[in-house]
A = this chain, B = another copy of it.
Amino acid sequence: MTNEENALYYADYLELEKILNSQHPKTAHLPNGAGDEMLFIVIHQAYELWFKQIIYELDLVNGIFTQDDINDNSGDMSNAVHKLKRVVKILELLNKQVDILETMTPMDFLEFRNYLVPSSGFQSAQFRLIEAKLGLKMEQRYKADYYKHTRKGGFIQSDFDAVNQAEATSTLKDLVIKWAERTPFFDAELWKEYQSQYHPNDDSADKFWLDYKRIYQDSLSANEKGRLEDFENVFFKEGRGEFSAPAMRAVLFIMLYRNLPIFQLPFELLSVLIAIDELLSNWRYKHILMVRRMIGMRVGTGGTSGAGYLEGALSQHYIFKELTEIATFLVERSRLPELPNAVKDKMSFNSR
């Protein structure tokens, strides 16, 4: 070749020799060839490539949150939010990708479906790793037994172990909870300012939250009064789900005062976690619709109940539901106590 010796070539850089020679349909030998099985392989490989990228980004984000101290001034939080927003964009694409598989008709799927038994998309170790790294625990999974490496149609042992190990490591949910718990804007020193401004004659602690609770109570309509007990539980006793009460207070506070500079990225973090959950849920839902259309009420190739299994996962594999539920406990901005200037200053930029 006359291309410069050793010059990097697109196909070599992307290792296309491997990528483009990894499609071997089981029905290639049939008289009419592989038909839509090629599409079936390619779309799943594209999913797996993107899953790899999601895992890459999640590992990076989890690495940032694993630090003892996430320095808001160092760009860490900005970087973490940026990567998670990319995950959102990828998940949007994966949702859209379902539309391509829908160009395969049930009859076309039937041409190769039986060749796939007992494998199935259920066995995507990378997808299970994504769920695990985000924070889904095995015991929270719908029909956890399905995953067992001892079940036909389940995982092989190494994949089963990998998912379990990802759970055992700090997950994004664990890390976000710890981060919320150690947010510094509740330190006693700072809050003295609040108490002295609004409660000059009473230096007992937690005045802000007592004030907020009263404001919340006032905002409830007659038939919602039961919410107050929830409020007490969520923010002062048990917390909610895996979030402790202090973690829930931190999250609520960020949502309420998101306009303060120091909360802008934390608010974006919470929003993007909710968005990831929504997109995963939506992807599962589109998957259910597609499976119904493709196989109706028949069982899945991996021996699960098909659409039935997916409906179970849809309602249970919801990772950051505690964050979504915070909306229950918000009040109008105009009702919020104005924070004292000294408090606001601490949460603002040094210059300007």
> Could you tell me the distance in whole angstroms from the C-beta of A223 to the nearest C-beta in chain B?
7
Task: Given the known inter-chain contacts A1-B156, A1-B157, please indicate yes or no for A119 contacting B49, CB distance below 8 A.
Answer: no
Chain B residue numbers with a CB within 8 Å of A7 are 118-119, 152
CB distance from A3 to the nearest CB of B (A): 6
A:253-292 near B, CB below 8 Å: 255-256, 258-262, 264-265, 271, 274-275, 278, 281-282, 285-286, 289, 292
Cβ–Cβ < 8 Å partners of A102 in chain B: 275
Q: Does A347 contact B (CB under 8 A)?
A: yes
In the complex, what's the smallest C-beta–C-beta distance from A154 to chain B, in angstroms?
Answer: 7
Q: A8 interface residue, CB < 8 Å from B?
A: yes
Given contacts A48-B19, A344-B73, contact A295 B149 (CB under 8 A): no
Give complex CA distance A90, B102 in Å.
11
Shortest CB distance A127–B (Å): 10
Question: Is A201 on the interface with B (CB-CB < 8 A)?
Answer: no
The listed residue (B43, B96, B156) touching A9 by CB distance below 8 A is B156
A-B residue pairs in contact (CB < 8 Å), sample of 21: A1-B156, A3-B156, A15-B22, A15-B45, A19-B19, A19-B45, A20-B52, A42-B49, A46-B49, A73-B260, A89-B99, A96-B96, A105-B255, A106-B255, A106-B330, A111-B333, A282-B282, A292-B324, A293-B327, A298-B328, A349-B350
Restricting to A36-52, which residues have a CB under 8 Å from any CB of B?
38-39, 41-46, 48-50, 52
**Do A328 and B295 contact each other (CB < 8 Å), given the known contacts A45-B49, A100-B90, A184-B352?**
yes
Chain B contacts for A334, CB-based, 8 A? 30, 111
How distant is the Cα of A260 from the Cα of B325 in the complex, in angstroms? 32
Q: How many copies does the complex hold?
A: 4
Residues of chain B with a CB closer than 8 A to A9's CB? 119, 123, 156
Contacting residues of chain A (55-90) with chain B, CB-CB under 8 angstroms: 56, 71-75, 78-79, 82, 85-86, 89-90
Bound: A137/B262 CA distance, A: 38
CB pair A3 B152 closer than 8 Å: yes
Bound: A24/B52 CA distance, A: 13
Q: Report A113-128 residues with CB < 8 Å from chain B CB.
A: 115-126
